[in-house]
Amino acid sequence: MSYTGSKAQSGRGTKVSISAAIASPTYTEIGEAKSAPLSGSTWNTDDVSNFDSGIDEEFITTMRAPGEPTITGNRVSSDAGQVIVDTVYNSGALAAFQVLLPKTAAQTSTGDAYTFTALIISREFPIEANKTVTFSLKLKISGPVTFTAGT
């Protein structure tokens, strides 16, 4: 098949949502989110080097650390999702998160979704006289990030 152009996807239209309930989440969109990079996942390793290893280190893979992404956006104090963020952050509890991508040309019902459980380890509201008041939420993911293909 010959190349007919990129199938890349824009992030415009992505929805970032939160649920205080983890077992049976009911997601509420975090309004005016601007970025939600699902990055920082790394594999932990443990050194198994020994006297017979020679000059090169040996290691084994142990557990994967799912990452600590930062979600940013415009602060809107009356936004229902941002109110839930405040409640969850103040409680110190884990919450369920969903990042729902917009539909691609091949999808008719829903876009691809990533869901995970995380602790909001910090939140910031940078305030400057000549800038929009924004929010920044640093998350620490607990457990796997689950991918569900859109349809």
| Residue that is written with structure tokens 């999808």 in the block | 107
Whether pLDDT at 28 is above 90? yes
What would the pLDDT profile of 106-115 be if each residue is shown by its tens digit?
Answer: 999 999 999 9
Higher pLDDT, 63 or 37: 63
In this prediction, residue 30 carries a pLDDT of 98
| CA atoms of 100 and 150, how far apart (whole Å) | 9
What would the pLDDT profile of 126-139 be if each residue is shown by its tens digit?
Answer: 999 999 999 999 99
Whether pLDDT at 1 is above 90? no
Q: pTM for this structure?
A: 0.89
**Domain 15-42+60-148 CATH (choose: 2.30.110.20, 3.90.1150.10, 3.90.245.10, 3.40.1050.10):** 2.30.110.20
Per domain, the residue ranges of the chain are 15-42+60-148
For residue 7, name the pLDDT band (cuts at 50, 70, 90): confident
Find the length of the chain.
151
Percent of the chain predicted with pLDDT > 90: 90
Averaged over 84-92, what is the pLDDT? 98
